[in-house]
Amino acid sequence: MTDASDTDADPLRAPPGERSVPELLRFGVVNLDKPAGPSSHQVSAWVRDAIDETLDALDPEGPPTGGVAHSGTLDPKVTGCLPTLTGDATRMAQVFLEGAKEYVAVLELHGPPPADFREVVAEFEGEIYQKPPRKSAVSRRLRTRTIHELDLLEVADRRALLRIRCESGTYVRKLCHDIGLAAGIGGHMGHLRRSATDPFDDRDLRTLQDLVDALAWAEDGDEEMLREVVRPAEDALTHLPAVTVARSAAENVATGAPVYAPGVIDVDDAALPPGLYGDAPTDGEADPDPPLAACFTPDGTAVCLGRVVGDPDAESGTVVALERVLL
């Protein structure tokens, strides 16, 4: 016989600001300051183990996190911004591919910089070609990446300080090598620090020690520090265009249904695909794919990730095709 409490269980989470500590830990994000030394995977494993230990103390009947996911691998020597998703929030890891990343790098030059060095550096802003280095996790095929901003902050002797804002998947080590070649003197990357991963940056980074301390305080009944260190997973979606859906529509999404027109309350203009209302490109090029959007209930609870494929003002039909259910 089925327990009525099971069939009537609410599939939606509490609003972000009303979640208990265990709920926060099972659907949260930490804007972590990765130290030099360990790999990104080692750091993620430490975060998972620390959180699971606290969950076992605070909610022994509930499940562990089930894992964590970081925002993109940093080499062991590289430091900086490594947002880390916990528990069910790992389903949204793809959102970090949608935003830009920012780095501060030291370019070690193999000779005195030429008089036109600043102009040489400026040539690398925009779309560039890159082949991943031999020691990489992807196939070594030539590909394009976009350098959104490339600032030469300082040159001292044979060192140049660069600020790089770039597309996810850009190899900064290779970029430094190529700048050195273009300058005619050679060069390699020295120190590297990631200063931002959209939508997070280095203004509110938290260390591993901050997390461990916050978890210990929470186990003793003081939640204040933990709620500063571990944030609702919805904070990782703020750079995406939003779709607001009715609670009834969110409950249907929990069962795997797409978002239909009657359940749509509001849609950011940035979520709408080109050509939806007949404003197709006139240059003969095909429409780009619709941007990734995040769907929320009116109280701010994340529902799903998907792409707008239909008219939100229509009386029927699919508006958002699902990519990840977050409930």
Residue 1 has pLDDT above 80, yes or no: no
Q: Which of 75, 201, 235, 311 is catalytic?
A: 75
Ordered domains of the chain (ranges, CATH): 4-96+201-236 (3.30.2350.10), 100-197 (3.30.70.3190), 240-325 (2.30.130.10)
Structure tokens of 159?
Answer: 């060192």
C-beta separation of 254 from 325 below 8 A: yes
The confidence score (pLDDT) of residue 250 equals 97
| Cβ density class 154-174: b for 16+ within 10 Å, e for less | ebeeeebbbebbbbbebbbbb
Task: Map 28-72 to HEC letters.
Answer: EEEEEEECCCCCHHHHHHHHHHHHHHHHHHHCCCCCCCCCEEECC
**What confidence tens digit (pLDDT) does each residue in 276-315 have?**
766 555 554 545 678 999 999 999 999 999 999 999 999 9
Residues 262/267/271/277 CA torsion (nearest 10 deg): 70
- Does residue 133 contact residue 173 with C-beta atoms inside 8 Å? yes
pLDDT at residue 2, as a whole number: 45
Question: pLDDT tens-digit profile of 226-260?
Answer: 999 999 999 999 999 999 999 999 999 999 999 99
CA gap 241, 199 in Å, rounded: 12
- Tell me: the pLDDT tens digits for 51-71? 999 999 999 999 999 999 999
- For tokens 């009116």, the residue is 298
Question: Average pLDDT, stretch 45-52?
Answer: 98
Active site residue 204: no
Handedness of CA 127, 129, 134, 136 (dihedral sign): positive
Q: What DSSP letter does each residue of 249-296 carry, written as one string?
A: HHHHHTTT--EEGGGEEEE-GGGSPTTTTS---SSSPPPPPPPEEEEE
Cβ count within 10 A of residue 36: 13
Q: Is 325 a residue whose pLDDT tops 70? A: yes
Are 154 and 104 in contact by the 8 Å Cβ rule? The answer is no
Q: What is the pTM of this model?
A: 0.90
Q: What are phi and psi of 98, to 5 degrees?
A: -85, -25
Return d(Cα 253, Cα 249) in angstroms, integer.
6
The model's pLDDT over 77-124, given as tens digits with 9 standing for 90+, comes to: 999 999 999 999 999 999 998 889 999 999 999 999 999 999 999 999
Cα separation of the two ends of the chain:
26
Is pLDDT of 8 > 90?
A: no
